């Protein structure tokens, strides 16, 4: 699976959009981009995933660049409850055997009043 690079930490004011970048310059054509988040002392929570088109669900939007070498997770109106570590993960579409997730250290998002 391709490696991802994320900023270590970010701050966002409550009510504003939080834009979390991820670089995955070595991504291959059969690899999806997944986003999870982990609130302190809880298990990771699935947010969204995409292949090449932008995706939106009730939690967030995922914008993938045309060359697929980077993506941005957007939380449109961040709240204090969105304070968490956000992980960007690249994973093969058809893994054949293990579909394990390879986590990095993620981005620690702090939402403030």
Options 9-17, 18-26, 72-80, 86-94: segment touching other proteins (CB under 8 A): 86-94
The correct pick among 57, 65, 101, 112 for binding other proteins (CB under 8 A) is 101
Is there a contact between 47 and 74 (Cβ–Cβ < 8 Å)? no
Main-chain phi, psi angles of 9, to 5 degrees: -150, 155
46 binding other proteins? (CB under 8 A): yes
d(CA 42, CA 35): 16
> Residue 5 gets which letter from DSSP?
B
Tell me which of 21, 49, 52, 72 binds other proteins, using CB under 8 A: 49
Minimum CB–partner distance for residue 89 and other proteins (Å): 9
Cα pseudo-dihedral 103, 108, 109, 110, rounded to 10: 150
| Residues binding other proteins (CB under 8 A) | 34, 36, 41-46, 49, 85, 87, 93-106
């Amino acid at each position: 699976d391709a490696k991802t690079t994320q900023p270590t930490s970010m701050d966002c004011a409550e009510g504003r959009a939080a834009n979390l970048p991820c670089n995955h310059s070595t991504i291959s054509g059969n690899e999806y981009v997944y986003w999870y988040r982990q609130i302190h002392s809880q298990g990771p929570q699935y947010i969204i995933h995409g292949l090449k088109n932008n995706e939106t669900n009730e939690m967030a939007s995922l914008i993938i660049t045309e060359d697929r070498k980077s993506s941005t997770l957007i939380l449109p109106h961040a709240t204090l409850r969105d304070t968490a570590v956000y992980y960007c993960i690249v994973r093969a579409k058809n893994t054949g055997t293990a579909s394990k997730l390879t986590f990095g250290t993620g981005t620690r998002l702090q939402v403030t009043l």
